[in-house]
Every structure is written in structure tokens, then in C-alpha cells.
């Protein structure tokens, strides 16, 4: 592999700063949505096992 090709691969492996904490932020937003749904007594639409289903709050 040439130096140029190796540099190109390294550049592609660099993480985009905009996405570094995206998963954490999405999990935090999902938790807040579940809390709001629980207070409102409604469910939240989620993608589970290849289907969109309504998840209902638990009494915990």
C-alpha cells in the first residue's frame, strides 16, 4: 500500500467531532421522552425487532 493510500485510510478513520457524543445525546433524549410519556400516561413509538411499536411506561 502506498503512503498516499495509507494516509487516506487514516483520514477516513478520524472521528467527526460532531458525532463523538451523538449516541450519548440520543440516549439522553430517549430517556427524557420516556419520562414525559410516563407523566402524560401515554406511550412512546420505538423501533423494535424490525417493527415500529408503542412502548408504554412502567409503574417503577
User: Is 7 inside any structural domain?
Assistant: no
Global pTM reads 0.59
pLDDT value, residue 25: 92
36, pLDDT greater than 90: yes
User: Is 55 inside any structural domain?
Assistant: yes
pLDDT value, residue 54: 93
User: Is 9 inside any structural domain?
Assistant: no
Whole domain around residue 34: which residue ranges?
19-60
Using the 8-state DSSP alphabet, how is residue 53 labeled? E
- Per the document, the length of the chain is 60
Per the structure, how many domains does the chain have?
1
Instruction: Please enumerate in sequence order all residues whose Cβ is within 8 A of that of 30, keeping only pairs 6 or more positions apart, or say none.
Output: none
Residue 13's H or E segment, with its range, is: helix 3-13
User: Is 11 inside any structural domain?
Assistant: no
Residue appearing with cell numbers 478520524: 14
5, pLDDT greater than 90: no
For the chain, where are the alpha helices, taking DSSP H only?
A: 3-13, 22-40
φ/ψ of 14, rounded to 5, equals -65, 130
Band of pLDDT at residue 7, cut at 50, 70 and 90: low
pLDDT value, residue 8: 58
Amino acid at each position: 500500500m502506498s503512503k498516499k493510500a495509507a494516509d487516506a485510510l487514516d483520514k477516513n478513520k478520524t472521528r467527526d467531532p460532531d458525532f463523538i457524543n451523538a449516541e450519548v445525546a440520543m440516549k439522553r433524549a430517549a430517556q427524557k421522552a420516556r419520562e414525559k410519556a410516563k407523566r402524560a400516561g401515554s406511550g412512546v413509538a420505538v423501533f423494535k425487532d424490525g417493527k415500529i411499536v408503542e412502548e408504554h411506561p412502567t409503574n417503577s
